[in-house]
Amino acid sequence: MLKLYNNLAKKKQEFKPINENKVLIYVCGPTVYDSPHIGHARAAVSFDILRRYFLFNGFDVKFVSNYTDIDDKMINRSNELGISIKKLAKKYIDEYEDVMLKLNVIPPDVKPLATETIAAMLDFIKIIKDNGYAYVSNDSVYYDVTKYKEYYTLFMRKPPKENKKSCVYEPLDEENTIGDQDSVLADSDKRCKDDFVLWKKSKEGEPSWKSPYGNGRPGWHIECSTMAYKHLDKLIDIHGGGKDLIFPHHTNEIAQTYAAFGTKLARFWVHNGFVNIDNEKMSKSLNNFFTVNDVLKSYDGVVIRFFLSSVNYRTPINYSTDSLEEAKTALEKIKEFYKTIKPFKNAEMENDHKVEMMKSIQKLKIEFISSMDDDLNTSKALAQIYQLIKMVNKHIFEFERNIDEEIKKMILNFIIDFANIFGILIDREIQELGVYGKQIDGMDELISEKQQTISELMNAIIDVRSQLREKKIYDIADKIRDDLKNIGIELYDMKNKTMWKYSDSN
């Protein structure tokens, strides 16, 4: 049974969906004023793995992630570039979605834009105000934090040191929080310093929408509360985002939804850790970030994804070229292993060896699932994959033993389950047929007739080449090996037999 770390409770809790077989997930998406960086990629990959693991376990998942396309950052950048906010948003949404495609992230089921949800936001604000949690001041609407008794203790934060009546809260760790994305309005407009804007009075020359309170635009926090409610429900299973969103964004989302409907919006609040550079958080404000497209110039998207998956999603991960190279090497090792196993056909095994290997594979698979059930412990799960590779390679190359069809299926099922959960493309044809845990029964039916013919042909070629080597006709034997390599097939001569596999070019 999956346990997730619920930041609202500050502990791992057993996950059970509100509805028996359907999981509702909302993840805060990017503000689309600039190119996505590696920090954005980590959030996307982390929650994509969570989504994939639910799918692997047979759940129906509705996944919503928004685009913030109106706030001070959007306004300032559109002025800087001399283009409309709509064109700015389209430019960076297109870039973000192209990057997500290269990272093999499944697109959200719904991708709402803030500017297309204004009417619903105004309805949401009205409910909050009618319930006594908001007030109008100078044509803006503010949330009154004194009305929500739990406001200062959400996410196990300590209440302010000063008297609560002073309404002053200072985050415990300001480096790990994102302030309000909209400029602070005059404190004189607020009853309390911590009150936050739901509807912001427009300034001259800024985009605005009509409202009962005057022309203006929504505050940042009301956007996500509204879109989660509109596309999912009053109470959903999981709300996700980066660790830096805990305060004030997610705190304020809870406050808004509680004021409207009496719920805390989500049962589980899940947050991914930071990407660090030299142990310092990667961020645009510190000017120590790398855009994903910058990194894609040197590394395939799947390598970047694999790097981001190499540690538990909550653990900070240090970005470096060395780390990416390690991820690239590890991924190549897994792909090489798959190519080694795939060609085995009609081989026989001694029963003792088969029983021993079967038990070992089953044990490793159980450990893999157990690791993923433990708050998506991807690093521990990967260790089981590496152990599988080590064990099987030793069986084949050191002991020079075959694997039969049943063992082959067990190994390939394991690797493909891993690949689907981690979002790593190992074999597109087979993965699409065996996606999300469906077992690959009867490989002959899944592998095309052409592939079967290749397997039979390769066995015949290897037999002929072995006879040439026995007769010491090495020049022709070597030419066969080299010609095969040129068409994407590699031969491996061992003590008592020769094996073949597809090379990277295949």
In this structure, are 305 and 281 located in the same domain?
yes
* Same structural domain, 48 and 137: yes
- With respect to residue 460, please indicate whether it lies within any of the assigned structural domains: yes
Say if 25 falls within a structural domain.
yes
Q: Residue 341 is encoded by which pair of tokens?
A: 């196993």
Q: What's the pLDDT at 456? A: 75
Q: Which amino acid is at 50?
A: L
Asked whether residue 488 falls in the same domain as residue 399, the answer is no
Q: Is residue 267 part of a domain?
A: yes
- Number of H helices and number of E strands within the chain? 16, 15
Same domain, 335 and 377: yes
How many angstroms separate the CA atoms of 145 and 350, rounded? 71
Do 148 and 33 have their domain in common?
Answer: yes
Task: Identify whether 24 is part of a domain.
Answer: yes
- Residue 90 in any domain: the answer is yes
| Structure confidence at residue 452 (pLDDT) | 59
Same domain, 380 and 283: no
Helices (H), 316-442: 321-341, 351-373, 378-393, 405-422, 428-433
What pLDDT does 175 receive?
A: 44
Distance CA 446, CA 440 (A): 8
279: left (phi over 0), alpha (psi -120 to 50) or beta: left
Q: Are residues 399 and 370 in the same domain?
A: yes
The token pair at 387 is 């152990």
Query: Are residue 298 and residue 334 in the same domain, yes or no?
Result: no
Written as one string, the DSSP assignment of 89-157 is HHHHHHHHHHHHHHTTPPPPSB--BGGG-HHHHHHHHHHHHHTTSEEEETTEEEE-GGG-TTGGGGGGP
Distance between CA atoms of 139 and 200, rounded to whole angstroms? Answer: 8
Distance CA 502, CA 482 (A): 13
Is residue 315 a part of any domain in this protein? no
For residues 295 and 428, membership in a common domain is answered with no
Let me know if residue 438 belongs to a domain. Answer: no
Single out the residue in 380, 398, 433 at which a domain terminates.
433
Q: Which of 310, 339, 362 is the last residue of a domain?
A: 310
- Indicate the pTM of the whole model: 0.85
Q: Give yes or no: residues 158 and 269 share one domain.
A: yes
* CATH code where residue 258 lies: 3.40.50.620
Mean pLDDT of each 10-residue bin along the chain, 506 residues long: 98 97 98 96 98 97 98 96 97 98 97 98 99 98 97 86 54 50 63 95 95 98 99 99 97 99 99 90 78 98 98 97 97 94 83 94 98 99 98 90 92 95 80 46 48 73 88 90 86 76 61
Domain check: are 324 and 427 in the same one? yes
Host domain of residue 385? 320-433
- Per the structure, how many domains does the chain have? 3
User: Judging by beta carbons within 10 Å of its beta carbon (0-12, 13-18, 19+), is residue 226 exposed, middle or buried?
Assistant: buried
Q: Which residues contact 174 (CB under 8 A, 6 or more apart)?
A: none
Q: What's 400's DSSP letter?
A: -
**pLDDT in the model for residue 469:** 86
Last residue in a domain, options 413, 433, 453: 433
Q: Could you tell me which of 74, 98, 95 has the C-alpha nearest to residue 86?
A: 74
On whether residue 450 sits in a domain, the answer given is yes
**pLDDT score, position 348:** 83
Residues 296 and 360 in one domain: no
